[in-house]
A and B are shown apart, each in its own frame.
Chain A
């Protein structure tokens, strides 16, 4: 959901454009909801209201209120920016590694991926030395392991390393 619409002159995407984008995305979701509700039937069936009855009207209300929101946004443009490009870059610098982390978990297991995420974050973002980053990156997953798997008996996703170690 990145609605980074280029705006001339500003130091970032305008608040108005982002908000229009958000409203349109919400309306799109509601349209999908209406489509899905019609597919399962939204009327009155043998057992009372059909399965699509509730989601259909809920989606209709979303659309109506989104239209009002859209009108309000278009009417009141104060020319403010949503966030500066530099700030958005900061946010992106968190979202991107986290996205890679999330996708890596099924393959590497949560402990190894977590260690990599923490190390990468500390070196790249916090400008820490490799030794310090490695120390934190190894300690946290090990503590997590003991807390979840040993003390509270909650299994977490494991990868090749844990298999190799016999867990």
Chain B
């Protein structure tokens, strides 16, 4: 514990170097822009800007990329409150009360509340990461192949159980991702598979291309279809409004704490920030004595989803750095970054790359403080970006997506793949197929497969290896519960209604 605190201070020293501070500010500004622009979000924003970091040291690179992520989380709130357009899926719940507040001329109050509660949520999650991540990592060092596979199993099963899309569509999308991930060289036998003699397929499908296509291009096509027009409220934040709101906010400490806990819990399991924000809003609505007024511009309706979304978005990095299992698509992109910089994600990072891990954790603290200051002072500037017509923004975003796709492997064929993924993403999203599990499956496919095959090899093909000791059985059983959660839930509801009916 004491050693960790020493490491953390060492991390702060790394982050406080002038070059890294500049990168931090650049990252946050880019991140807010990415969060504000339609069609760009945390995941594809980080993926597109990843090539900018190729010539940096891994520590500087992760500082910049994670700051882009914080910026994107902040940016989503600006568009939801001022324009009633959620820049990110997790800020949908923020529009419910944020936009009415802006219409009543309380935009400054709503924005201050949103940014401050984002900050509180993120801070809570970072403290949790600081305390828990080293323990999880040292614990995970003892994991063998069956345990590692069981963690993947749990992560993917939670998608099925927790996502709001139909379970079989989630399974289809996820397994398609695993399938795409297997194309190319087989890591275990060194054999080529599913390439059908096409040289372009030798390296398989890179998930960064998939992220840029599915989320970036797909999102632009959706926006195009809706024929978006921006009608925003003017944004003014002055110090007086900020201080006034800050004086009011401590009253909602219990709400904040509850939202933080919901966010952290949802963030660690790969369900992510979006359901966390809805859940937190829903629970706040039910518990608050102003609950019936929610939707008309209640400040609590802004605090609850923003706190939870940021706590979830931040804690999604906990499994990424301690286990090598990302909790969200954006965390997956950061994980992809680690591989490109030549680091092996997983529990070993904590012992072998201390500078990197603690630099990252320190940058989470600093980045969120710097981010809060930047967004509070520069809101009008960022809101102005949204007033640029879409017919100018759309081709520019396309260009940046193409650059991002090309630079992953310096391969022009990848740009073609990006467009294919973009159209596929548009159609799949319209048909209610979730895209996040597919992306995570492409990233983790070969690792999950490797641990699966190693476990089976050790057991000579017996599946009992996944229930061979207390730890692995517990994780696998939790996974199965998550997998069948929709069935359990509907069964329970039927059981209850069946029991209640005779009494009525």
Among B53, B392, B423, which residue has its beta carbon within 8 angstroms of that of A136? B392
Residue of A nearest to B430 (CB): A82
Q: How far is the CB of A62 from chain B (nearest CB, A)?
A: 5
Which B residues are CB-close (under 8 A) to A98? 217, 398, 419, 422
A114 touches B179 (CB 8 A): no
Q: Mark B385-415, 1 if CB is under 8 A from A, else 0.
A: 0000101101110111011001100101001
A22 touches B427 (CB 8 A): yes
Which A residues are CB-close (under 8 A) to B426? 91
Residue of A nearest to B449 (CB): A54
- Whether, in the assembled complex, B457 has its beta carbon less than 8 Å from a beta carbon of chain A, the answer is yes
A19 touches B431 (CB 8 A): yes
- Whether, in the assembled complex, A48 has its beta carbon less than 8 Å from a beta carbon of chain B, the answer is yes
- Whether, in the assembled complex, B416 has its beta carbon less than 8 Å from a beta carbon of chain A, the answer is yes
- Whether, in the assembled complex, A11 has its beta carbon less than 8 Å from a beta carbon of chain B, the answer is no
A55 touches B416 (CB 8 A): no
- Whether, in the assembled complex, A26 has its beta carbon less than 8 Å from a beta carbon of chain B, the answer is yes
- Whether, in the assembled complex, A5 has its beta carbon less than 8 Å from a beta carbon of chain B, the answer is no
- Whether, in the assembled complex, A1 has its beta carbon less than 8 Å from a beta carbon of chain B, the answer is yes
Q: How far is the CB of B29 from chain A (nearest CB, A)?
A: 13
Q: Beyond A61-B175, A99-B419, A156-B406, is A106–B196 a contact (Cβ under 8 Å)?
A: no
- Whether, in the assembled complex, B283 has its beta carbon less than 8 Å from a beta carbon of chain A, the answer is no
- Whether, in the assembled complex, A40 has its beta carbon less than 8 Å from a beta carbon of chain B, the answer is yes
Which B residues are CB-close (under 8 A) to A1? 423-424, 427
A152 touches B55 (CB 8 A): yes
B407 touches A49 (CB 8 A): no
Give the interface size class of chain A. Answer: 35 or more
Which B residues are CB-close (under 8 A) to A19? 431
Q: How far is the CB of A100 from chain B (nearest CB, A)?
A: 11
Bound-complex Cα distance A99 to B416 (A): 8
B189 touches A47 (CB 8 A): yes
Bound-complex Cα distance A121 to B407 (A): 24
- Whether, in the assembled complex, A128 has its beta carbon less than 8 Å from a beta carbon of chain B, the answer is yes
A140 touches B453 (CB 8 A): no
Count contacts on B: residues with CB < 8 A to the other chain: 65
- Whether, in the assembled complex, B504 has its beta carbon less than 8 Å from a beta carbon of chain A, the answer is no
Q: Beyond A1-B424, A54-B453, is A157–B406 a contact (Cβ under 8 Å)?
A: yes
Which B residues are CB-close (under 8 A) to A37? 193-194
Q: Beyond A91-B225, A110-B406, is A122–B395 a contact (Cβ under 8 Å)?
A: yes
Q: Beyond A33-B179, A117-B395, is A65–B168 a contact (Cβ under 8 Å)?
A: yes
Among A26, A66, A102, A126, which residue has its beta carbon within 8 angstroms of that of B391? A126
A65 touches B193 (CB 8 A): no
Among B166, B178, B192, which residue has its beta carbon within 8 angstroms of that of A58? B178
- Whether, in the assembled complex, B224 has its beta carbon less than 8 Å from a beta carbon of chain A, the answer is yes
Bound-complex Cα distance A4 to B410 (A): 34
Q: Mark B333-362, 1 if CB is under 8 A from A, else 0.
A: 000000000000000000000000000000
Bound-complex Cα distance A84 to B433 (A): 20
- Whether, in the assembled complex, B157 has its beta carbon less than 8 Å from a beta carbon of chain A, the answer is no
Q: Beyond A118-B399, A121-B395, is A48–B457 a contact (Cβ under 8 Å)?
A: yes
8 extra interchain contacts, Cβ-Cβ under 8 A, other than A22-B427, A144-B399?
A40-B186, A62-B175, A94-B398, A101-B398, A101-B402, A102-B402, A126-B391, A140-B396
B residues with CB within 8 A of A: 51-55, 166, 168-169, 171-172, 175-176, 178-179, 182, 186, 188-189, 191-194, 196, 217, 220-221, 224-227, 389, 391-392, 394-396, 398-400, 402-403, 406-407, 410, 412, 415-416, 418-419, 422-424, 426-428, 430-431, 433, 449, 452-454, 456-457, 461
List 8 tightest A-B contacts by C-beta distance, closest first: A126-B391, A48-B457, A36-B194, A121-B395, A51-B186, A55-B182, A51-B191, A65-B172
